[in-house]
């Protein structure tokens, strides 16, 4: 099953992606995580990406294309994957479509986690992540059991630089301008599904499981 996860920054894509990936046993591929790993390893790509990320801007398309192609060609993606944070622009969506077309393949679903902009602001600024294992939390809605400490690996959780209030408005504007058009892009291809992302995390996940189980029924790679 090949899935693209859509939604504004802060819609809960990362949290749901971890559960979806486990439940359906497909790799969770987050371009944001790949960039952050490059930043922490001090690579050339990381240094370039950081400048854009810290400013709330998208990393230029050209830097994402080879990166995603390499990743999707790896062995673990053979039977499917969950893309989180890619595509972010119509250029990236076209690239992905063309890459799949060359293999006589296509996406099975673009799943939108729908949350209004006002709710997003509250969420993003309360978000904390574990820099070690990538788990994500929210100070109000999903706090770690022990203050500031990751439940999974015990590392201290942090606020991403791009989650600070100053950058959030900018990221939401960028989303509206560059990423939101992907909703109609995938709707036109009849693979768009949407879930209400304003409810409790487990309720959203239940809806997602229902939607994706339907999609899986029609997925030829599972036969
Ligand atoms: P995320 O973790 O998905 O919220 O991504 C964090 C930041 O990484 C974004 O605000 C962008 O600066 C950058 N980024 C992640 N994925 C992409 C992408 N597909 N295209 C361009 N920039 C990206």
Give the start-to-end residue ranges of the domains of the chain: 2-26+79-116+169-222
Mean pLDDT of the chain: 93
CATH number for domain 2-26+79-116+169-222, candidates 1.10.600.10, 3.10.290.10, 3.40.50.300, 3.40.50.2000: 3.40.50.300
Structure tokens of 67? Answer: 């990166």
Q: How far apart are CA 211 and CA 121, in angstroms?
A: 27
Pairing of strands 136-138, 127-129: antiparallel
How many Å lie between the centroid of ligand 1 and the Cα of residue 64? Answer: 9
Q: Is the distance from the beta carbon of residue 39 to the nearest atom of ligand 1 less than 6 Å?
A: no
pLDDT for 96: 97
Residue 198 near residue 116, CB atoms below 8 Å: yes
Q: Is the CB of 6 under 6 A from ligand 1?
A: no
pLDDT in tens, 7-63: 998 899 999 999 999 999 999 999 999 999 999 999 999 999 999 998 889 999 999
How many whole angstroms separate alpha carbon 2 and alpha carbon 82? 6
Q: Residue 223 Cα, ligand 1 centroid: separation in angstroms?
A: 34
Is residue 208 within 6 Å of ligand 1 at its C-beta? no
* pLDDT, tens only, 201-219: 999 999 999 999 999 887 7
Q: What is the pLDDT of residues 88-141, one digit of tens each?
A: 999 999 999 999 999 999 999 999 999 999 899 888 889 999 999 999 999 988
Neighbours of 140 (CB within 10 A): 8
> How many angstroms is it from 222 CA to the middle of ligand 1?
30
- Minimal-distance CA residue to ligand 1 atom 19: 86
Residue 134 Cβ contacting ligand 1 at under 6 Å = no
pTM of the model: 0.86
Q: How far apart are the CA of 162 and the centre of ligand 1, in A?
A: 10
What is the percent of the chain where pLDDT is above 90? 79
Residues with a catalytic annotation lie at 13, 88, 127, 160, 171
- The torsion angles phi and psi of 172, rounded to 5 degrees, stand at -70, -35
């Amino acid at each position: 099953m090949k899935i693209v996860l859509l939604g504004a920054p802060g819609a809960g894509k990362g949290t749901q992606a971890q559960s979806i990936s486990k439940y359906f046993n497909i790799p969770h591929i987050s371009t944001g995580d790949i960039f952050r790993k490059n930043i922490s390893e001090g690579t050339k790509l990381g240094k370039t990406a950081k400048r854009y990320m810290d400013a709330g801007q998208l990393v230029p398309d050209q830097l994402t294309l080879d990166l995603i192609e390499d990743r999707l060609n790896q062995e673990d993606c053979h039977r499917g994957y969950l893309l989180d944070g890619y595509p972010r622009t119509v250029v990236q969506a076209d690239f992905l479509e063309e890459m799949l077309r060359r293999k006589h393949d296509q996406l099975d679903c673009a799943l939108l986690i729908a949350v209004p902009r006002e709710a997003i602001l509250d969420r993003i600024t309360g978000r904390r992540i574990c820099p070690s294992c990538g788990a994500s939390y929210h100070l109000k809605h999903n706090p770690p059991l022990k203050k500031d400490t990751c439940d999974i690996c015990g590392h201290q959780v942090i606020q991403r630089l791009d989650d600070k209030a100053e950058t959030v408005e900018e990221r939401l504007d960028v989303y509206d301008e560059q990423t939101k058009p992907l909703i109609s892009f995938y709707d036109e291809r009849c693979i768009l599904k949407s879930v209400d992302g304003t409810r409790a995390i487990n309720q959203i996940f239940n809806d997602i499981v229902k939607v994706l189980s339907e999609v899986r029924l029609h997925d030829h790679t599972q036969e």
